[in-house]
């Protein structure tokens, strides 16, 4: 009798725990849906001012709430029809099941769109993890590729921010996301303006090529030149890129299992 009562209490406690988790998920989802109404393409900075909305602050809050939402098991197959103004940009079909979700807002009267990205992935036990990554990875992540490495879960991201193409390498260690993996000299990323970027998964070659009618000039490497103080590795990368671009109008980098080399 005691054993039966113990089992009943145990099952009841599990039921209560699951019910509370579902309730938390639903509450979070409603909060995210409500916040995302302010990230409609129909709204601009004037609408934010009229309604006394600090859109930068709201974006940070919404990124964090979305990340919390995506950690729930119910978010494994998030129904985007229920949540407006959010986009699923890139995915993988491997065991990590990586997903990139984003939302945008207009900045000032220029029409520039600020992109806010949150990544979701599953660890070795299938537990969902999620982090905002906009502070490190700018633009919209449109492509993701698994890099061939013997001892690391490394992925190449190709992101676009208007005319700028960003290539960024991320690493997964157990349940941790590493955003400062030194894939390019000692930098996790490189970026170029008005160049065609592609990656061959078989040969692991990253190609950066000029468009036929676009000149190679000071603006080509400006996204890195502007940040050499913050990222000293850019100085070495810029020297190598400058030379190759002047000769071939293109750059080929191959991933050697640890880094991209020239």
Last residue within a domain, chosen from 99, 119, 135: 135
Last residue within a domain, chosen from 82, 116, 135: 135
How far apart, in whole angstroms, are the C-alpha atoms of residue 41 and residue 27?
25
Residue 164 covered by a domain: yes
How far apart, in whole angstroms, are the C-alpha atoms of residue 208 and residue 99?
25
For residue 14, the model assigns a pLDDT of 47
Same domain, 123 and 149: no
For residue 174, the model assigns a pLDDT of 81
Residue 3 covered by a domain: no
Q: Closest Cα to residue 69, out of 83, 59, 81, 56?
A: 83
Beta carbons of 147 and 168 less than 8 angstroms apart: no
Residue 198 covered by a domain: yes
- 204-209 average pLDDT score: 98
Beta carbons of 169 and 147 less than 8 angstroms apart: yes
Phi, psi (5° rounding) for residue 101? -110, 145
Last residue within a domain, chosen from 104, 135, 166: 135
For residue 5, the model assigns a pLDDT of 54
Same domain, 67 and 142: no
Q: What is the pLDDT of residues 186-198, one digit of tens each?
A: 999 999 999 999 9
For residue 41, the model assigns a pLDDT of 80
29 token code pair:
């989802």
Same domain, 238 and 144: yes
Same domain, 146 and 232: yes
Q: Which residues of 58-78 are buried (b: 16+ CB within 10 A; e: fewer)?
A: bbeebbebbbbbbebebbeeb
In the chain, the N- to C-terminal Cα span, in Å, equals: 73
**pLDDT averaged over every residue in the chain:** 90
- 121-130 average pLDDT score: 94
Same domain, 14 and 127: yes
For residue 107, the model assigns a pLDDT of 82
Q: What is the pLDDT of residues 139-194, one digit of tens each?
A: 999 999 999 998 789 999 999 999 999 999 999 998 899 999 999 999 999 999 99
253 token code pair:
């980098």
Give the chain's domain count. 2
How far apart, in whole angstroms, are the C-alpha atoms of residue 237 and residue 33?
42
Pinpoint the alpha helices (H) of 153-232: 222-225
Same domain, 117 and 166: no
Name the 3-class secondary structure at 142: strand
How far apart, in whole angstroms, are the C-alpha atoms of residue 196 and residue 160?
11
Please give the residue range of the domain that contains residue 109. 8-135
- 4-9 average pLDDT score: 54
Same domain, 113 and 162: no
Q: What contacts 229, CB < 8 A, 6 or more positions away?
A: none
Same domain, 92 and 131: yes
Residue 90 covered by a domain: yes
> Distance of alpha carbon 4 from its chain centroid, rounded?
49
Q: What is the pLDDT of residues 13-44, one digit of tens each?
A: 444 344 444 578 999 999 999 999 999 988 87
Beta carbons of 155 and 147 less than 8 angstroms apart: yes
Residue 209 covered by a domain: yes
Same domain, 57 and 100: yes
Same domain, 126 and 148: no
Same domain, 108 and 79: yes
Residue 48 covered by a domain: yes
Residue 2 covered by a domain: no
* Number of continuous H segments (helices) and E segments (strands) in the chain: 5, 13
Same domain, 142 and 196: yes
């Amino acid at each position: 009798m005691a054993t039966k009562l113990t089992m009943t209490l145990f099952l009841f406690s599990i039921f209560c725990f699951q019910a509370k988790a579902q309730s938390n998920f639903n509450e979070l989802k409603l909060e995210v849906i409500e916040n995302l109404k302010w990230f409609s393409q129909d709204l601009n900075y004037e609408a934010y001012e009229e309604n006394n909305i600090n859109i930068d602050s709201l974006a940070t809050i919404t990124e964090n709430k979305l990340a919390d939402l995506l950690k729930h098991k119910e978010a494994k197959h998030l129904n985007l029809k229920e949540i407006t103004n959010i986009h699923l940009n890139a995915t993988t079909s491997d065991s990590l099941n990586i997903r990139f979700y984003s939302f945008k807002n207009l900045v000032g009267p220029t029409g520039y769109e600020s992109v806010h990205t949150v990544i979701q992935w599953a660890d070795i036990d299938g537990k969902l993890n999620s982090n905002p990554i906009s502070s490190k990875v700018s633009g919209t992540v449109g492509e993701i590729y698994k890099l061939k490495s013997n001892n690391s879960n490394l992925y190449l991201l190709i992101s676009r921010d208007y005319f700028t193409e960003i290539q960024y390498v991320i690493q997964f260690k157990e349940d941790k996301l590493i955003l400062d993996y030194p894939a390019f000299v000692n930098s996790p990323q490189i970026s170029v303006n008005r160049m065609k970027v592609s990656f061959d998964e078989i040969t692991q070659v990253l190609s950066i090529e000029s468009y036929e009618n676009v000149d190679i000039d000071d603006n080509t490497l400006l996204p890195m030149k502007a940040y050499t103080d913050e990222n000293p590795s850019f100085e070495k990368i810029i020297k190598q890129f400058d030379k190759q671009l002047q000769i071939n109008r293109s750059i080929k980098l191959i991933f050697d299992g640890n880094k991209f080399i020239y």
